[in-house]
C-alpha cells in the first residue's frame, strides 16, 4: 500500500465548518463505494481550525490524477464534490494546481531501524 497526505482549508466561517463536519457524519453511500472502487482502502480527514488534513492509502500503482477520474465519473460523487467545494478553499501557497494540495513525506517512523 502507498500512503498519501493532502491539505485543504475550509472557509473561515464557524457555521460553514459545522455544516461541513455534519456532512461527514453522513457521507453519501455512493461516495464511499466509489472511493473504495478506485482502490482507496483507508481514508481519514482531520480538522484543526480551518485546515483539513487528509490521509489515505491506496495500492501501489495508484495515480491520484488518473484514478480519481473513475470516482469523478459518478454523477453522485460529482454532486458531493460540488457541495463540499462550497465549504473549501485551497491552501495558501498551493503549488500543483489541484484542489487538495499534496503534501510531501518528511518522516516515517516505520522506516526507522
| pLDDT tens column, 98-113 | 789 989 999 999 899 8
Confidence at residue 97, expressed as pLDDT on a 0 to 100 scale: 72
HEC-encoded secondary structure of 12-56: CCHHHHHHHHHHHHCCCHHHHHHHHHCCCCEEEEEEECCEEEEEE
Cell of 6: 493532502
Cell of 99: 484542489
Q: Of the CATH numbers 3.40.50.150, 3.40.470.10, 3.30.70.1090, 3.30.450.20, which one belongs to the domain with range 2-105? A: 3.30.70.1090
Give the mean pLDDT of the chain.
94
CB 80 within 8 A of CB 36: no
CB 88 within 8 A of CB 99: yes
66-to-58, 101, 105 alpha-carbon distances in Å: 13, 16, 21
> Over the stretch 51-62, which tens digit does the pLDDT of each residue have?
999 999 999 999
How far apart (Å, rounded) are the C-alpha atoms in residues 87 and 18? Answer: 10
Domain boundaries, the chain: 2-105
Amino acid at each position: 500500500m502507498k500512503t498519501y497526505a493532502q491539505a485543504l482549508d475550509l472557509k473561515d466561517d464557524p457555521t460553514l465548518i459545522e455544516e461541513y463536519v455534519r456532512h461527514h457524519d453522513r457521507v453519501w453511500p455512493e461516495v464511499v463505494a466509489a472511493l473504495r472502487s478506485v482502490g482507496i482502502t483507508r481514508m481519514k480527514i482531520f480538522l484543526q481550525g480551518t485546515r483539513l488534513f487528509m490521509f489515505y492509502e491506496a495500492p501501489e500503482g495508484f495515480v491520484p490524477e488518473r484514478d480519481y477520474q473513475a470516482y469523478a465519473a459518478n454523477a453522485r460523487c460529482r454532486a458531493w464534490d460540488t457541495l463540499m467545494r462550497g465549504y473549501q478553499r485551497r491552501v495558501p501557497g498551493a503549488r500543483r494546481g489541484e484542489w487538495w494540495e499534496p503534501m510531501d513525506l518528511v518522516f516515517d517512523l516505520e522506516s526507522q531501524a
